[in-house]
Amino acid sequence: MTGGGLTGTGLTFGGALFMLGSWTAILVLLVFCFTRIRARR
Amino acid sequence: MTSHRQREIWNTKVGLVFALAGNAVGLGNLLRFPTQAAQNGGGAFMIPYFVALILMGIPLMWVELAIGRRGGVHGYGTTPGMFGTLWKHPAARYLGAFGVLIPTGLVLYYTYIVSWCLGFSFFSAAGTYFGEVTRDGMGAFLDGYLGTATNPHFAGLGATYFFFTVTVALNIWILSRGVVKGLEMLAKVAMPVLMVLGLILVARVLTLDPAPHGEADWTVANGLGFIWNPDLSSLASAKVWLAAAGQVFFTLSLGFGAIQTYASYIRAKQDLALTGLATTAINETVEVIIGGTLAIPAAVVFFGLAGTRDIAQGGAFSLGFMSLPVVFQQLPAGQFFGCIWFLLLFVAGVTSSVAMSQPMMAFLQDEFEVGRRKAAWIVGLGMFVLSQPVVLFMQHGFLDEMDYWIGTFGLVVMALVEIVLFAWVFGMDRAWEEITRGAQVELPRVYYFVIKYVTPAFLLVILVVWAYQDAFGVLMMDGVPPESRPYKWGARALLALLLCGIMWGVHKRWGGRPMEAEEHVVED
């Protein structure tokens, strides 16, 4: 099995959406958690 | 013998989250994750990865935190004592012995690998390997360092032992300072440093000149596409789902016994839900955002798509120790960036290696009243002595054999045992109360059913398929050359010896004692 982008088509629209969506979700979770943790210190 | 020793407690909430994140973040985030993603369908791998994270990783994190906090309240820092509070049967203590065996067995070879990162950070800064401009050349350099082949760079194992000794000494020093001044202080320094080093490298990779060798498709965009473009046909592959679930295990340090020990130093009514989510969020930031942006995109720019596929098939060490040093040699200020890369791996590795050592520390301190410094020396020197076969018999597969039984199969068995004990034997209603006590966020009720049914089923499927696909062949040493078999047996004997020692400790501590006789709760 090969990488999904092994065709050399660059980062597709779907790939970019998936990547940025995942990054955003993780960072939102990170900020949410630390905001709550610091607020209840 | 019931310990009434005053146990340490994490000093701050942020320190606790950083320590747990340091426990979870390790070499797996930066080396294993990109390799697994590239081997298993790129973006298609990420879909089962996130499903496994939500249905198995996060619930198991909460379960391990709850078991650990409950154990700490009863004065126990390791799973033999903890399991005894969940199941009033003498067998519970002996089942718990595996939660001390796994991290102790892991640390015997993990610390050795972490010491390579320190060595290669020095070699990068000094430019020692500069001139080895091919992957084969770097492979020979690594073999020479490990003493598995003769090499003009290394006359023997002197450099290997030097960096290994420094790494073990650093572990002993941190462990001997205790939970707050050692582990928490390390995490508060190491996690921000790790983030900064990671972001420096991410910035460097994203600004790499495209196609330095004139090949049009050797670009960062293609590297990111390699990881993120979804190949939905891969979703039908059981292999991809298993690889994704396996990666979630490694990355969150689940089934190790180490999360439980760290959680035993949490206050009785302190939040677990938010702590588990924050730990997961930091871990995923390092893994998905930093780990997913570094090694594979950089490799695509310098080796092309087909070359990177070959590198990924060669495994994590091929990517981290053989391919990326070739990349650094072609970058301006390559010595600096090489040093930063291996330092990043070293920092991530040390926060995990001390976490893996802590269960044995806690076992000695809590159950046998050994002093902290004495325990640190026993654990550190014991680790150094028992890891000698790993160092000396590397080429015969000693490390691989230990890694399979402890670092692959053992984790899943341990996780399945603990979730069955917690959700089914202890009871899901009480388990849910344990998890949600003091929670600062309201957990969705659906997780009650996920923890009771979905996560154990997920683990059972992984275990059965792995047992069917691999375990029997590994057990029978299929394909192992006859000359390597004694060493593989030696690795098994070492693990059996460790298990016997821990079982003996459990027997000496609890043998013949009634289960209810020693319930003592440490009030918060």
Which CATH number belongs to the domain containing residue B392 in this structure?
1.20.1740
Cα distance between residue B518 and residue B520, in whole Å: 6
Contact B38 A3 (CB under 8 A): yes
Give the list of residues 6+ apart from residue B61 with CB closer than 8 angstroms, or none: B252, B254, B259, B276, B279, B280
From the list A1, A6, A16, the residue facing B305 with the nearest CB is: A6
A26: closest chain B residue by CA? B281
Establish if A13 touches chain B: CB-CB under 8 angstroms. no
Tell me the shortest Cα–Cα distance from B259 to chain A, in angstroms.
19
Give the total number of structural domains in chain B: 1
The single residue listed with the structure tokens 């994490």 is B10
Contact B42 A33 (CB under 8 A): no
Question: Would you say residue B156 lies in a domain?
Answer: yes
Contacts of B239 in chain A (CB under 8 A): 1
Which two structure tokens, joined as six digits, stand for B149? Answer: 């082949």
Establish if A20 touches chain B: CB-CB under 8 angstroms. no
Cα distance between residue B43 and residue B13, in whole Å: 35
Question: Would you say residue B56 lies in a domain?
Answer: yes
E strand or H helix that includes residue B299: helix B292-314
Contact B441 A36 (CB under 8 A): yes
Contact A1 B440 (CB under 8 A): no
Would you say residue A8 has pLDDT above 70?
A: no
- The pTM for the full model equals 0.93
Tell me the shortest Cα–Cα distance from B33 to chain A, in angstroms.
13
From the list B42, B280, B288, the residue facing A5 with the nearest CB is: B42
Establish if A29 touches chain B: CB-CB under 8 angstroms. yes
Cβ atoms of B171 and B418 closer than 8 Å: no
Question: Would you say residue B121 lies in a domain?
Answer: yes
Question: Would you say residue B163 lies in a domain?
Answer: yes
From the list A2, A10, A30, the residue facing B282 with the nearest CB is: A30
Question: What is the per-residue DSSP string for B213-256?
Answer: TS-TT-SHHHHHHHHHSB-GGGGG-HHHHHHHHHHHHHHTTTTS
pLDDT at A41: 54
Please state, in angstroms and as integers, the Cα–Cα distance from residue B161 to each residue in A1, B116, B392, following that order: 39, 10, 11
Establish if A21 touches chain B: CB-CB under 8 angstroms. no
A9: closest chain B residue by CA? B222
Question: Would you say residue B82 lies in a domain?
Answer: yes
From the list B17, B40, B226, the residue facing A5 with the nearest CB is: B226
Contacts of A33 in chain B (CB under 8 A): 17, 274, 277-278, 281
pLDDT per position as a tens digit, A11-34? 888 889 999 999 999 999 999 999
Contact B222 A26 (CB under 8 A): no
R_g (Cα) of chain B, nearest Å: 22
Tell me the shortest Cα–Cα distance from B282 to chain A, in angstroms.
7
- The pLDDT profile of chain B, 524 residues, written as one tens digit per residue, is 444 568 999 999 999 999 999 999 999 999 999 988 888 877 778 889 999 999 999 999 999 999 999 999 999 999 999 999 999 998 999 999 999 999 999 999 999 999 999 999 999 999 999 999 999 999 999 999 998 888 888 988 999 999 999 999 999 999 999 999 999 999 999 999 999 999 999 999 999 887 666 677 788 998 998 888 887 777 788 888 888 888 998 899 999 999 999 999 999 989 999 999 999 999 999 999 999 999 989 998 888 888 888 888 888 888 899 999 999 998 889 999 999 999 999 999 999 999 999 999 999 999 999 999 999 999 999 999 999 999 999 889 899 899 989 888 899 999 999 999 999 999 999 999 999 999 989 999 999 999 999 999 999 998 898 888 878 888 888 888 999 999 999 999 999 999 999 999 999 999 867 665 555 555 44
Q: Which of B16, B224, B228, B280 to mutate to test the interface with A (most CBs of A within 10 A)?
A: B228
Report residue B40 CA to chain centroid gap: 20
Question: Would you say residue B6 lies in a domain?
Answer: no
pLDDT range class, residue A4, cuts 50, 70, 90:
very low
Contacts of A15 in chain B (CB under 8 A): 43, 224-225, 228-230
pLDDT at B480: 87
Contacts of A21 in chain B (CB under 8 A): none
Domain limits for position B431: 13-512
Contacts of A23 in chain B (CB under 8 A): 288-289
Please state, in angstroms and as integers, the Cα–Cα distance from residue B223 to each residue in A3, B197, B312, B475, following that order: 9, 21, 12, 38
The ipTM of this complex is 0.88
From the list B225, B274, B306, the residue facing A5 with the nearest CB is: B225
From the list B231, B234, B274, the residue facing A36 with the nearest CB is: B274
Question: Would you say residue B517 lies in a domain?
Answer: no
Question: Would you say residue B2 lies in a domain?
Answer: no
E strand or H helix that includes residue B426: none
Establish if A14 touches chain B: CB-CB under 8 angstroms. yes
Establish if A19 touches chain B: CB-CB under 8 angstroms. yes
Contact A16 B280 (CB under 8 A): no
Helix ranges restricted to H, B75-209 = 79-86, 90-96, 98-126, 135-146, 158-176, 178, 185-206
